[in-house]
């Protein structure tokens, strides 16, 4: 009884596959179809981070425009401030003796 039922069920499935044009795979073999069926995720992945205007890049491209990058401006100001307080970069050693002295200090 059960075998008859299952064979009928198989026929039904095959018919259904023919009608709806799906693959008849009674043994449930792994055909890798899911890798082709799945949507591509790359396009949405690339758009995750929001767009940000890069002032420095625009200024580099169009040198005629005198754009001021507020962050860069602030940084340069801070560097100047540090120099005024004597916290700037040390001078490059001109002679060997200079470099030896610098090494000793360290």
Which token pair is 94? 């001109």
Total number of residues shown for the chain: 106
For residue 32, report the phi and psi dihedrals to the nearest 5 degrees. 75, 15
Closer to another protein at the Cβ: 31 or 99?
31
Q: How many chain residues are in contact with another protein, going by CB under 8 A?
A: 23
Q: Which of 15, 57, 67, 76 binds another protein (CB under 8 A)?
A: 57
Least distance CB 33 / another protein (angstroms): 8
The answer to whether 52 contacts another protein (rule: CB under 8 A) is yes
Selection from 49, 67, 48 nearest residue 57 by Cα: 67
Q: Is 30 in the site for another protein (CB under 8 A)?
A: yes
Shortest Cβ distance from residue 38 to another protein (Å)?
A: 8
Render 12-33 in DSSP notation, one character per residue. HHHHHHHHHT----TT----SH
| CB within 8 Å of 60: residues ≥ 6 apart | none
Task: Collect all residues with Cβ–Cβ distance below 8 Å to 92 and sequence separation of at least 6.
Answer: none
- Give 70 or 90: the residue with its C-beta nearer to another protein: 70
**Sole binder of another protein in the list 50, 64, 70, 86 (CB under 8 A):** 50
> Where does this chain bind another protein (CB under 8 A)?
29-33, 35-36, 38, 40-43, 45-54, 57
């Amino acid at each position: 009884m059960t075998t008859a039922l299952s064979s009928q069920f198989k026929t039904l499935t095959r018919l259904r596959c023919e009608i709806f044009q799906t693959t008849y795979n009674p043994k449930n073999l792994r055909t890798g179809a899911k890798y082709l069926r799945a949507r591509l995720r790359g396009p949405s992945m690339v758009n995750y981070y929001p767009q940000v205007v890069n002032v420095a890049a625009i200024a580099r491209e169009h040198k005629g425009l005198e754009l001021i990058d507020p962050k860069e401006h602030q940084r340069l100001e801070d560097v100047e401030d540090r120099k005024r307080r004597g916290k700037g970069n040390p001078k490059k050693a001109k002679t060997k003796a200079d470099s030896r002295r610098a090494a000793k200090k360290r």
